[in-house]
């Protein structure tokens, strides 16, 4: 009996002493590899309820995750996209403390620069879009033995160190932007901190893994390194060639959402059969789309969106196609009275004799009918 026990223990020691929580038993061909586990995690997104907010929230997070992945300077591999986080790893010797700091700084600045860009150029005022400036980014860094295993062709990282890294995403720190490094990863992190980091020691206790000690630094100081964006180029337009106006029995918000919806343009603008645009991105200033007409296609760019007092100004630049001239269309929405809004449309184009002779009256009639369609849809409540 004792001999049998010795043989069993000897065989087990050849594999590993490590107990893997809730995971398959190690096979003899599994290899434990020293691995850096690096997890940037986006926080602060309230989960909204209507369809637009859910879709836009998903697009915003996807864009920010792409920004994080594209600013990888450490040769990290993506193990998995986990909701609002990226699970990176790198097999082999751990990088220097300085390299870890620089990687976090690069991702952090790119993340917040994109949020500034989005806030400057956004046109949508749904909950998800207006909430974007409140998003934050934290980093969890851990190092330990990990197993790489393929399951149905997909790479999976397994082992208790993977569990530990993910547990630390939920901790007792009171702020939302920080770099957290486990004690076994860089025990001298506090002493070797860069001048933009002030480390403190902490720990968290988990029922299944026990106490985990770590060093952490808040990243608020890094916000000062995020570059300021230049102001958008202002529209330089003279007197409009066409001026139209209509009042609508609806709310300002409903009228605005209808106005900026690329998908719904074909419902109210005369002659449009289809609108093509990148549906994986949220429309903003600079967004291009195509309006398909019976005999040609118009390329259109969103050029302005701003609020002045109670007015909302939204503008598009239309690149001429075929016999249609290039133009700029400036829509202005403002409250008319308690239950109505006024929509004004100013159209600017090259004031040549040909344009005045052939296109001005045609465009006036077409857009007059379009604004009536816009009014009819909103007043029927088809929003």
Could you report the per-residue pLDDT of 179-207, keeping only the tens digit for each?
A: 999 987 776 655 565 666 788 888 888 88
Closest to 165 (Cα-Cα) out of 1, 28, 41: 41
The structure tokens 């465009």 sit at: 363
Domain(s) of CATH 3.30.530.20: residues in the chain: 242-379
Instruction: Please state, in angstroms and as integers, the Cα–Cα distance from residue 354 to each residue in 210, 276, 313, following that order.
Output: 80, 30, 29
Topology (CATH) of 7-225: Alpha-Beta Plaits (3.30.70)
Closest to 29 (Cα-Cα) out of 16, 42, 20: 16
* Residue 21 in this model has a pLDDT that exceeds 70: no
* Residue 6 in this model has a pLDDT that exceeds 70: no
Domain(s) of CATH 3.30.70.1230: residues in the chain: 7-225
Q: For residue 26, name the pLDDT band (cuts at 50, 70, 90).
A: very low
Cα 61 from Cα 58, distance rounded (Å): 5
* Residue 5 in this model has a pLDDT that exceeds 70: no
CATH number of 242-379: 3.30.530.20
The structure tokens 């059969």 sit at: 273
Cα 289 from Cα 306, distance rounded (Å): 20
Average pLDDT over residues 143-154: 84
3-state helix, strand, coil in the chain (%, to 5): 30, 35, 35
- 29-86 pLDDT tens trace: 468 889 999 999 999 877 666 777 888 889 999 999 999 999 999 999 999 999 899 9
Average pLDDT over residues 365-369: 95
Q: DSSP assignment, residue 153?
A: T
Q: What is the pLDDT of residue 206?
A: 87
Instruction: Please state, in angstroms and as integers, the Cα–Cα distance from residue 358 to each residue in 115, 271, 302, 352, 362, following that order.
Output: 45, 17, 26, 10, 7
End-to-end CA distance of the chain: 78
Q: What is the pLDDT of residue 353?
A: 64
| Crossing angle between the packed helical segments 360-379 and 252-260, to the nearest 10 degrees | 130
Closest to 317 (Cα-Cα) out of 285, 293, 340, 342: 285
- 295-321 pLDDT tens trace: 889 999 999 998 888 899 999 999 877
- 83-113 pLDDT tens trace: 899 999 999 998 888 899 899 999 999 999 9
Average pLDDT of the chain, as a whole number = 85
DSSP, residue by residue, 169-231 = TS-S-SSS-EEEEETTT-TTTTTT--TT--EEEEEEEETTTEEEEEEEEE-GGGGGGSPPPPP
Q: What is the pLDDT of residue 207?
A: 84
Judged by average pLDDT, the poorest of 33-42, 151-160, 290-299 is 151-160
- 234-286 pLDDT tens trace: 777 788 999 999 999 999 999 999 999 999 999 999 999 999 999 888 999 99
What contacts 70, CB < 8 A, 6 or more positions away?
110
Residue 210's region, left for phi above 0, alpha for psi from -120 to 50, else beta, is left
Partner residues linked to 147 by β-bridges: 32, 158
* Residue 156 in this model has a pLDDT that exceeds 60: yes
Cα 107 from Cα 167, distance rounded (Å): 22
The pTM of the whole model exceeds 0.85:
no
């Amino acid at each position: 009996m004792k001999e049998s026990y010795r043989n069993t223990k000897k065989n087990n020691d050849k594999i590993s002493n490590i107990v893997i929580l809730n995971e398959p038993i190690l096979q003899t061909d599994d290899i434990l590899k020293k691995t850096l586990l690096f997890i940037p995690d986006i926080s602060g997104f309230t989960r909204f309820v209507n369809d637009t907010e859910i879709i836009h929230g998903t697009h915003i997070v996807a864009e920010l995750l792409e920004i994080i992945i594209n600013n990888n300077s450490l040769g990290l591999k993506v193990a998995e996209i986990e909701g609002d986080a990226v699970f990176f790893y790198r097999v082999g010797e751990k990088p220097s403390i300085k390299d870890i700091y620089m990687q976090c700084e690069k991702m952090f600045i790119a993340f917040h620069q994109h949020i500034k860009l989005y806030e400057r150029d956004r046109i949508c005022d749904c909950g998800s879009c207006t909430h974007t400036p409140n998003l934050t980014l934290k980093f969890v860094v851990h190092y330990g033995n990990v197993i790489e295993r393929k399951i149905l062709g997909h790479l999976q990282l397994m082992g208790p160190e993977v569990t530990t890294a993910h547990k630390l995403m939920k901790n007792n720190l009171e702020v939302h932007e920080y770099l957290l490094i486990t004690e076994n990863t860089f025990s001298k992190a506090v002493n070797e901190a860069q001048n933009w980091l002030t480390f403190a020691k902490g720990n968290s206790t988990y029922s299944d893994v026990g106490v985990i000690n770590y060093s952490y630094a808040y990243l608020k100081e890094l916000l000062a390194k995020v570059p300021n964006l230049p102001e958008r180029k202002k529209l330089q337009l003279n007197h409009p060639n066409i001026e139209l106006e209509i009042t609508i029995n609806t709310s300002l918000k409903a009228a605005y959402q209808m106005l900026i919806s690329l998908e719904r343009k074909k419902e109210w603008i005369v002659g449009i059969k289809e609108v093509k645009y990148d549906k994986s991105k949220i429309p903003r200033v600079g967004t291009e789309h195509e309006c398909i007409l019976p005999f040609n296609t118009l390329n259109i760019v969103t050029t302005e969106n701003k609020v002045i007092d109670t007015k909302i100004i939204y503008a598009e630049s239309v690149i001429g196609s075929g016999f249609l001239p290039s133009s700029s269309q400036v829509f202005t929405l403002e409250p008319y009275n308690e239950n109505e809004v006024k929509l004004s449309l100013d159209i600017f184009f090259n004031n040549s004799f040909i344009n005045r002779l052939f296109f001005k009256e045609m465009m006036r009639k077409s857009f007059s009918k379009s604004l009536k369609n816009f009014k009819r849809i909103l007043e029927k409540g088809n929003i």
